[in-house]
Structures are given as structure tokens and as C-alpha cells.
Amino acid sequence: MAEKKQSKEEKKLHVEVVKQMVTLSTSGFGLVAAFAWNSLIQEFINSYVKKWFPQGSGIISLLVYAIVITFLAVFVTMQLSRLAQKLEKEA
């Protein structure tokens, strides 16, 4: 009986470790993806938006960048929330 209890506890521990590993790796890849998008948006602002503003208008380009990032963050969060709600209703 003690062996079965220990075996179930070990199995539960292994499942929790795997869940944590999935969470950590997903977070890590999310961070890498965020950095990639960050670089892309910065390059877009530098290549296409800055040339429309006078020299030394770094604050304006940063404002445009912040607005773009905020819009993307809100849009993606709303879409993922809707997807999660839809999946919850189906389950």
C-alpha cells in the first residue's frame, strides 16, 4: 500500500514538474517572440515613420511606437480572451 501511495505521489510530482516546464518554456518563447516583434516595429518606425518628421523628433517616433505597441497588445489580448471564452463554453 505504501508503494502505491508513493508511486501516485511521485507520478503527481512528475506531472507538476512537466506542467511547470511547459509554462516556463512557453513564457520563454513568448519573450523571444515579443523581442522579435519589438525589433520589427522599431525598424518599421525608423524606416518609414521617422522620415516624415523633422530631424531630432525622437519623442514623436517613440510616441508612435508606444501607440502601435499598445494597440497590438490590446488587440491580441482581446482576441485571445475571446478564444479562451469560446473554448470554455464548448468544454
Q: Can you tell me the distance from the alpha carbon of 14 to that of 83, in angstroms, rounded to the nearest whole number?
A: 29
Tell me which residue range forms the domain holding 84: 2-90
Q: What gap in Å lies between CA 76 and CA 70, rounded to an integer? A: 10
pLDDT tens profile 57-81: 777 777 888 888 889 889 988 998 8
**Angstrom distances, CA of residue 40 to CA of 12, 16, 36, 64, 89:** 42, 36, 6, 14, 36
pLDDT at 12 (0 to 100): 85
For residue 13, name the pLDDT band (cuts at 50, 70, 90).
confident
What is the tally of structural domains in the chain?
A: 1
Kindly report which listed range (24-28, 37-41, 42-46, 57-61) carries the lowest average pLDDT score.
57-61
Residue 3's pLDDT is 59
Cell of 88: 470554455
